[in-house]
Amino acid sequence: MKAEKISEFTTHRLSIYLRCLAALDEEGVETISSKSLAERFNLNSAQIRKDLAYFGQFGVRGVGYPVRDLRRRISNILGLDSLHKVCVIGGGNLGMALAEYGGFLQHGFSVVAVFENSPAKIGTTWRNGVPVVSIGDLKETVRARGIEMAMIAVPAAAAREVCERVFDAGIRAILNFAPVRVVPRPGTKIQSIDLSISLEGLSFFLAGRATGTR
């Protein structure tokens, strides 16, 4: 396995394949060729074969990939065999939206705490039962609850300092929603969500340079 060569674009595509395979599995489909998978979900069959080849030999020539088995393998590759505990830093609108986002739990991520510095919010419980905890208790809460990842939903001006505190607390993986570039420490990873990029994809479409509807 050439793990060090796996780009974020590849893992992103693996996540997409995983969703497609889950849909097929739930429909009762047992095997599928890269060609059918590509046609059904608007993907690229050569890319599918190339991506999966990184991780070993899947599928049988002329028959296709075993849907459930491949689903399990990709899930395993992505480290999704067990539930991941996640926290949110910042209890504003975005933080609270993340705390109750329905998509996380269905994919194996459980939001177990929101960290805040506002005394008015600390000690309260969000409507789906997530506690709002003082940012001062970050380190001990992370340790006690086994939190592995943090989603940063603080204003841009506070994001860098908050990321340092998160690393100090022993968290190695950050999803950053603040519109500011934060540099990871060695051995850690920061993935930034730039919501404008998705709008730019739509802008490209509206500018008339793209056709089709996918």
> Which phi and psi angles does 74 have, rounded to 5°?
-65, -40
Nearest approach in angstroms of CB 135 to a second copy is 19
Residue 99 CA, chain-centre distance (Å), reads: 14
Stretch that binds a second copy, among 114-122, 136-144, 162-170, 204-212 (CB under 8 A): 204-212
Q: Is position 194 an interface residue for a second copy (rule: CB under 8 A)?
A: yes
Stretch that binds a second copy, among 32-40, 97-105, 116-124, 136-144 (CB under 8 A): 97-105
Nearest approach in angstroms of CB 140 to a second copy is 21
The pair of structure tokens assigned to 103 is 């998509």
Q: Is position 101 an interface residue for a second copy (rule: CB under 8 A)?
A: yes
Q: Is position 57 an interface residue for a second copy (rule: CB under 8 A)?
A: no
Site for a second copy in 124-183 (CB under 8 A): 148-149, 153, 155-156, 172-175, 179
Picking from 90, 61, 195, the residue whose alpha carbon sits closest to that of residue 151 is: 90
Amino acid identity, position 188: T
Q: Is position 56 an interface residue for a second copy (rule: CB under 8 A)?
A: no
- 109-123 core/surface letters (b: 16 or more CB in 10 A; e: else): bebbbbbbeeeebbe
